[in-house]
Structure 1
């Protein structure tokens, strides 16, 4: 019966695939292969048997049990849902570990499931979980439902930014995030893989309490192993200009998306908030400039944005944007538009200038000269070479936060930095205390703002997105295919024989234990509030 089920499942799904439109308006080679007879339609008998299986899909309600070929899962809650399916929190009863299931519910689900499983296996064999990529355990299918199992992570970077008391993140928080994502992109580039969907929702914090600012890249549903052209990849707000033009795309498009993320986390709002492709191109051109002729010449859709003059040169079609609709007028303005109401010292001003320099290289309109992930990791903003001769407390605090995010255990901060926020917490805002200036004032600033506690909420419980609310248009960052996929131990470029009825597994993932609750007074449990206090406590001298 198993061989019959597998045959019918393949034939039935592929029959549906042959009748459905591809996911993008520009047909890629994979979609064309499906529509040109690579898969055979099901016979009437096969369709009849297939329908009998599809009439009994697996029960995905919270509290139900889901049985894969080798594992049993107790479903707990639906974390998110989107056009590609849903993400379900669960407990793996067989392996005794928390997990997250990504359930594909999309046209041509089998095809996308196999494509993603191939990428996940490549990543797993090369130990992607050690390079800030989500850990994948295995993939399976039940009654025509296609599922991936991943490790369970914490909250998304989008939610983390929304919960910031300042509206955006400080440079001490952004630095480790950019560093870890650059490491992940370098890892993918070495394997010849492009993520193609980097955005705030697809960067997850591992545990914002026990492992503050440790992040991982998730959701490889659109990832590819070769350069592509003419396909709509990335969310519009994180899409590189060469993608709009339909020019050949490589890993440089992922770096552009990371640059947009870096600016968004700092400003607390989207820097290029175009509600349409045309408006996005206007924002890009007026903020970072035009792409080179080589990119325009190779684009399939360049004529939608540029026209050819009589001298055979490209001329931009659109009039200038209304200045009131622009979040920033040029990249050099970024350092002036950080979290509001925060005084910063000259040392942080130097840090902001280093940050702007990095962002300008990440948002280079020429993909050929755009900064590489390896160059990001050695840039002075990430390496902090420019801080070594500045205020000692600012430098040591920055190094400490970076080490915490990377899991490096070193000596704690100097006592003059550690003691700063304890007196500040005990002093009422309405009754400031006058005292003599000491060396501790090198890092001292005004009392910290009111704390806001980060709560773990489901997708339906989350309030309005402040990042979206700050935009002139109502819908930024909403084109999410929210999948809480997770880190992998991944495989070789040699793809396995993928067939329906097969269960894909990562090569021996380590057992995961439920983390114990943080203990009061545990110095290793540096919370996010500590980071805000550390950040504020290093910014008063010279301010």
Structure 2
């Protein structure tokens, strides 16, 4: 997880970010440009094919921006951490149902604005908190002929439950402290990447400045923790594999060097 350190181009957005199996550890590749759009084409496209990791605004049919890539990246981050898809729905209803069960319902101003909202929600005149209510699986099945299915390996009622998936119990006390703090920062970052309202979602630049990426929260125990040192080593590998020319970056402008965002330990901390 420590190995993502690249900003997203300002020229385009991908709309679908997914993992691939490759033989180059700690290097991120973006492939499958069939769904990539120039930012000038942003909008609400109701006929586009859906995919796992779709942002709520895509499912609801709300005009969208490059913030949909941040949602996809957040889903990918959680999936890499879990070893399974966070929201693996076989249709958009299931994906929305999983999102709501884990993160709550999108706010009314999004649902009211959504072109596709009535496909998944119905008006709720009895509620004092929301104008909309998600259709039940049986109701959705009756109306569409599509049978909702449970395909999740992990069923969460909060993204905070990501913290309980892995057992952190290294022998070294400093490693334990570092891993616990790193997990906390990772989940905090994922929660910001998966904000239901795109306007509240973290930006690529803010991700690079997040504590999980800069590692400022664990830099002070560099000398005592093998885990922290390995994180910095991985960062070095990532930086060494970053594109160094326009040709390597598919002609897109190169971004600010990754190491500029790192919080380096004090010089004395490097001595072991």
Fold conserved (TM > 0.5)?
yes
How far apart in 2 are the matches of 1:323 and 1:275? 9
Whether the aligned pair in 2 keeps the contact of 1:358 and 1:379 (CA below 8 Å) is: yes
How far apart in 2 are the matches of 1:310 and 1:220? 44
The answer as to 2:37 corresponding to 1:224 is yes
**Partner-residue secondary structure (3-state), 2:199:** coil
Which residue is equivalent to 2:16? 197
How far apart in 1 are the matches of 2:235 and 2:48? 31
Which residue is equivalent to 1:314? 132
The answer as to 2:178 corresponding to 1:350 is no
Deviation at 1:240, TM superposition (A): 0.8
Deviation at 1:371, TM superposition (A): 0.6
Residues 1:236 and 1:324: Cα distance change in structure 2 (over 3 Å): closer
Which residue is equivalent to 1:489? 251
Deviation track 1:438-480 (CA, whole Å, cap 9, x = no partner) reads xxxxxxxxxxxxxxxxxxxxxxxxxxxxxxxxxxxxxxxxxxx
How far apart in 2 are the matches of 1:392 and 1:337? 22
**Partner-residue secondary structure (3-state), 2:80:** helix
Whether the aligned pair in 2 keeps the contact of 1:246 and 1:300 (CA below 8 Å) is: yes
Whether the aligned pair in 1 keeps the contact of 2:14 and 2:37 (CA below 8 Å) is: yes
Deviation at 1:323, TM superposition (A): 9.0
Q: Where do residues 412-427 of structure 1 align in structure 2 (5 Å cutoff)?
A: none
The answer as to 2:112 corresponding to 1:297 is yes
Residues 1:324 and 1:352: Cα distance change in structure 2 (over 3 Å): same
The answer as to 2:233 corresponding to 1:396 is no
TM-score (norm 1): 0.38
**Partner-residue secondary structure (3-state), 1:237:** coil
**Which of 275, 279, 285 does residue 94 from structure 2 map onto?**
279
Whether the aligned pair in 2 keeps the contact of 1:233 and 1:243 (CA below 8 Å) is: no
**Partner-residue secondary structure (3-state), 2:27:** strand
Greater per-residue strand proportion:
1
Whether the aligned pair in 1 keeps the contact of 2:56 and 2:196 (CA below 8 Å) is: yes
How far apart in 2 are the matches of 1:249 and 1:401? 34
**Partner-residue secondary structure (3-state), 2:42:** coil
The answer as to 2:191 corresponding to 1:360 is yes
Greater per-residue helix proportion:
2
The answer as to 2:198 corresponding to 1:372 is no
**Which of 323, 327, 339 does residue 154 from structure 2 map onto?**
327
Which residue is equivalent to 1:176? 3
Aligned residues: 226
**Partner-residue secondary structure (3-state), 2:81:** helix
How far apart in 2 are the matches of 1:407 and 1:233? 37
Deviation at 1:397, TM superposition (A): 2.0
How far apart in 2 are the matches of 1:288 and 1:326? 17
CA RMSD of aligned residues (A): 2.9
Whether the aligned pair in 1 keeps the contact of 2:178 and 2:225 (CA below 8 Å) is: no
How far apart in 1 are the matches of 2:153 and 2:240? 39
Residues 1:365 and 1:326: Cα distance change in structure 2 (over 3 Å): farther
How far apart in 2 are the matches of 1:394 and 1:310? 53
Whether the aligned pair in 1 keeps the contact of 2:89 and 2:151 (CA below 8 Å) is: no
Look at both structures and tell me which one has the larger radius of gyration over its CA atoms: 1
Which residue is equivalent to 2:70? 255
TM-score (norm 2): 0.74
How far apart in 2 are the matches of 1:326 and 1:393? 31
- Flag structure 1 segments of 5+ consecutive residues without an equivalent: 1-173, 409-485, 492-543
